[in-house]
Structure 1
Amino acid sequence: MPRDSLGHNAEGPSDKTVWVLKFEALDGEPIALVVNYAVHSTVVFGTGEVSGDLAGAACRYIEDHIDDHVEDHHDGGAVALWTPGPLGDQAPRVNLGLPFGVAPTERQKARAYAAMDAQGLIVGAEVLRVAASLTGLTSSVRIGAEQRTVPCPVKAGRDVMPSMRQELVDTVPLRLALITLADVALAGVSGEVVTDVYRHLAARSPLARTLLISIANDRIGYLPDDARFDRPVHSVNGCPIARGHAETAIVEGVSDMIARRLGRPLRPVPEKAL
């Protein structure tokens, strides 16, 4: 496989952290789990069928088993909410794997759906393990929210999928959103953020518990880190923003919103992070 082709790279950056927020009633009855994980839900992409894919399979498993560790539960219909993390460079380990436009056989479809359920079980089981270990929940939470739009200079796409169309404009709006729950920050970005952008944000943010949610409020394309522009990889080809703007806007913009809202100083810029 050519070094810069779209495919599996075992040495590439990847964040395997599964973030879990647990909400429960005062009597301990589960209400909801919010899940944040960095992977494309594209296991059965190419079958031509509408599906919740990996995220849907994981949430079904979670909802089916969320009450297993709770004694005398009331089966109150607790829900799982999946949020996509920095997935711009993260594909599922096993997927349909056919070239674009090639129709799968029924056997290939069946194998893809089996892979979807298996990977959903793996993520879902880990979410439940983490949720069961969470202690010290509080009934007093301070909630805050903010959003901003950063106009960024446009870069033309190259060798992208036919469905990725680009308007002839000078700037593209990058939307940033923030919800804070006590010492947890949920940071939304309107594109497919790659791993290293999130790592730089996590290092800069005043909160250690900073979760990034990709494709929030829009999907403008891939959002790679600046260093990645040295290689003609898929995430760079599909990025609509010129080098030197998206990473800075996300890292500094989200960190600044968190710092101002909570009155906390930014952490120093890590060496070689920006």
Structure 2
Amino acid sequence: MSQSFALHGQPLQVGISRRDITPANLEGLDPFAGTFARVHDHIHIRAMVVSNGSDTAAIVAADLIEVGDTRGLRSKIEEKTGIRADHVMIAPSHSHNTPRMGDVPAGAKARIPTQQSLRYSDEVAIKISDAIEEARASMTDAQMGISTIGVDVNVNREVYSQGSWGLGVNPDGDSEKKLTAICFRGDDQRIIAVLINYAVHSTIMLGIPELSGDLAGAVSRYVEHELGKNALAMWIPGVIGDQAPLFGLNGETGEDMDEDLRFAEDAVDAQSFIIGASVMRAIEGMHDWDKSAAISGTVDVVSVPCRKLPVPEGMEQRQVSEVELTLSTLLVGTVCLVGISGEVTTAIYRHLMREMPLRHVLVVSNANSRIGYLAGDESYDRHTQAADGCPIAKGHCESVIVRIASRQVGNLLRLATQVDEVESSSQSS
């Protein structure tokens, strides 16, 4: 595990970049239907680089269903930009109407890549690297603010019916309603970028054979339109493993595709407005802005016992005894982004939050890699959707995530505290 830290007293700088990653050729890029029929709305990557003069981190929000193992890409980014590989977090929105990127670790349960998707992956990787380089070159002095707000646009989707667990709408199930906005503004008070962390699948359009950023993409577009002046709204998905949108197709289509499309578009518009307007309200409510912050990061790739899963048509799981779980933590000021390489469920999130010594700890699902669902211990015996899609053997998933993530956050906070003490002593002398 590698770590670093930076002095709190150094002024923050932020740079941003946006790249359109809408493919020119849609053949072989739909992870569910093979080929998209057309482009419904354009998809993008959004990159932000934040620095305090001593340390620098990069965050990429991507309109993609998943990113595979990013170790090679993050190493190339380090070579090209000087930003350490363990200070780079790539977060796919997990929209099910977007292509995948890269290849997942052995043992992961994933959609089978196509030749077209692998070529597209190479193109997107170059755009991510270029966007980070452009963002770093455009950095300007900035202030950082944090705000949370309750938003009721998600619902637990684990439903027990006729003797087994499946997907549906479970209003009595656990659901995290908190949305967190991390905002960066310039000295002129203009918003430069906002990170949006919320727990919901972008599956409203699933079943419509059209390329779309779905709910996550629509929220980003709404907020960027409201902010204006080329601001970035970056969706970094939260605890999505057992969370669906309140209203959506979620793959349940009928015989009338035109009617399905109308319903899905209305559902995207309505729910993205609620989330986007809530983000704007959260930004308006920010009163405390920091001009400096510690920045540090760490990444652990942990081998955990793997189990064989049922694999439906169109998916694969390469058989190995262990599967690699990636945990990536970025500390920026008083915020910790805990990236976990799978679709984290609410039970694991609740357990993790009980162990956290910091108020603003945000889980980012599918960050820097993806192996499948990540289910809480108790769900294995119930055979929930998430448990039956988790490639980690029972008794290892929840405990390993909580133990490693808690250690990462604790270590980064201790380093930041030590620097504060040294800095205060130096200033007083």
TM normalised by structure 1 equals: 0.89
Judge conservation of contact 2:176–2:199 (CA < 8 Å) in 1: yes
Equivalent position SS for 1:263: helix
Report whether the alignment pairs 1:34 with 2:181: no
Compute the RMSD of aligned alpha carbons. 1.6
Judge conservation of contact 1:47–1:104 (CA < 8 Å) in 2: no
Report whether the alignment pairs 1:171 with 2:301: no
1:81 aligned partner = 234
Equivalent in 23, 37, 52 of residue 213 of structure 2: 52
Deviations 1:85-113 (A, max 9, x none): 0100001111125448x775112112111
Equivalent position SS for 1:136: coil
> Given residue 293 of structure 2, which amino acid in structure 1 is its aligned partner?
V
CA distance in 2, matches of 1:77, 1:164: 39
Equivalent in 290, 296, 311 of residue 138 of structure 1: 290
1:245 aligned partner = 396
Equivalent in 178, 186, 189 of residue 17 of structure 1: 178
Equivalent in 75, 96, 117 of residue 249 of structure 2: 96
CA distance in 1, matches of 2:387, 2:291: 44
Equivalent position SS for 1:252: helix
- CA 1:104 to 1:231, structure 2 compared with 1: closer, same or farther past 3 Å? farther
Equivalent position SS for 2:168: coil
Where do 1:262-273 residues align within 5 Å?
262-263=413-414
Runs of at least 5 residues in structure 1 that lack an aligned partner in the other structure: 67-74, 265-274
- CA 1:156 to 1:104, structure 2 compared with 1: closer, same or farther past 3 Å? farther
CA shift, 1:57, in A, is 0.9
CA distance in 2, matches of 1:211, 1:255: 12
> Given residue 170 of structure 2, which amino acid in structure 1 is its aligned partner?
N
CA shift, 1:76, in A, is 2.3
1:234 aligned partner = 385
Judge conservation of contact 1:190–1:218 (CA < 8 Å) in 2: yes
Equivalent position SS for 2:204: coil
1:190 aligned partner = 341
CA shift, 1:164, in A, is 3.5
> Given residue 236 of structure 1, which amino acid in structure 2 is its aligned partner?
A
Report whether the alignment pairs 1:150 with 2:302: yes
Equivalent position SS for 1:59: helix
CA shift, 1:165, in A, is 1.6
CA distance in 2, matches of 1:30, 1:191: 31
Deviations 1:13-60 (A, max 9, x none): 110110110100012111011000000001001111110000011111
CA distance in 2, matches of 1:194, 1:127: 23
1:212 aligned partner = 363
Equivalent in 266, 269, 284 of residue 114 of structure 1: 266
CA shift, 1:11, in A, is 1.2
- CA 1:97 to 1:181, structure 2 compared with 1: closer, same or farther past 3 Å? closer
- CA 1:132 to 1:162, structure 2 compared with 1: closer, same or farther past 3 Å? farther
CA shift, 1:152, in A, is 0.8
Where do 1:248-259 residues align within 5 Å?
248-259=399-410
CA distance in 2, matches of 1:163, 1:213: 26
Equivalent position SS for 1:128: helix
- CA 1:136 to 1:98, structure 2 compared with 1: closer, same or farther past 3 Å? closer
Equivalent position SS for 1:188: strand
CA distance in 1, matches of 2:194, 2:255: 36
Report whether the alignment pairs 1:8 with 2:146: no
Runs of at least 5 residues in structure 2 that lack an aligned partner in the other structure: 1-160, 416-429
Equivalent in 271, 279, 297 of residue 127 of structure 1: 279
> Given residue 155 of structure 1, which amino acid in structure 2 is its aligned partner?
R
- CA 1:120 to 1:161, structure 2 compared with 1: closer, same or farther past 3 Å? farther
- CA 1:140 to 1:98, structure 2 compared with 1: closer, same or farther past 3 Å? closer
Deviations 1:220-263 (A, max 9, x none): 10001101112111101111000111111111111101111211
CA distance in 2, matches of 1:128, 1:161: 41
CA distance in 1, matches of 2:181, 2:345: 20
Equivalent position SS for 2:170: coil
CA shift, 1:5, in A, is 2.0
CA distance in 1, matches of 2:174, 2:313: 27
CA distance in 2, matches of 1:9, 1:195: 13
> Given residue 62 of structure 1, which amino acid in structure 2 is its aligned partner?
V
